[in-house]
Amino acid sequence: MTRYERTKDLQAPPELKKVHPLGKSPVITDDDHTIAETGAIVEYILAKHGDGRLMPPKGSEDYWQARHFLHYAEGSAMPPLFLMLVLQMIPDRAPFFAKPILKTAMEKVDEMLVKPQMALHLDHWERSIEKTGWFAGPEISVADIMMSFPVEAAATRFGYEYHPRLRDFLQRIHTRPAYRQGLKRGGPYAYA
């Protein structure tokens, strides 16, 4: 396994262009296959190594819920979280005299756009795990693996005082041996 560290401006390092033409992460190489995009990587790993684990029975309601969250995590949940990060970075990188103006402008965009969007998403997540504590059925699935990152990233900004199911979800994820093994192998997350 080769680990690539992001640059100071949170970009993937140039060495990744040798692995994939976009030079972005995540990307995996397995045998002759190089696969980018989180959802595609997870689908590949499930198809090759899953042996029916982490995916509800095909065609069931839980199956379609898992498919929804597999793609929703990166397609809908992460964009406002990424925008939130960008809005925080802009004033920090601006010339000294522009910082106060940009900070005020970015806070306004955050109030008008990001916070309302995140409120919708957080409520959706909380309702989605209401019955079982998981995003797609009575046990952990690919949906929970994919959603763990947006749920965790949102927790750093919003907390879960008003979303106790999400707080409990994260606690269950954090106690899983596979999660701990992943952090041991890949290192802790840095969300900001």
Class of the CATH-defined domain 69-186: mainly alpha
Q: Domain boundaries in the chain? A: 69-186
Q: What is the pLDDT along the chain (192 residues), one digit of tens a residue?
A: 677 777 877 778 888 888 888 888 888 888 888 899 999 999 999 999 989 899 999 999 999 999 999 999 999 999 999 999 889 889 998 999 999 999 999 999 999 999 999 999 999 999 999 999 999 999 999 999 999 999 999 998 888 999 999 999 999 999 999 999 988 887 777 655
To which residue do tokens 């969007």 refer? 117
* Phi and psi, residue 29, nearest 5°: -125, 125
**What are 101's strand-pairing partners?**
none
Find all residues with CB under 8 Å of 62, minimum gap 6, and list them. 56, 136, 137, 138, 141
Instruction: Calculate the alpha carbon distances from 50 to 53, 94, 182 in Å.
Output: 5, 47, 17
87: Cα separation from own chain's centroid? 18
Query: Quick one: residue 97, left, alpha or beta (phi over 0 = left, psi -120 to 50 = alpha)?
Result: alpha
Find all residues with CB under 8 Å of 39, minimum gap 6, and list them. 70, 71, 73, 74, 75, 146
48: Cα separation from own chain's centroid? 22
State the angle between helix axes of 61-72 and 142-158 in degrees (0 to 180), rounded to the nearest 10: 50
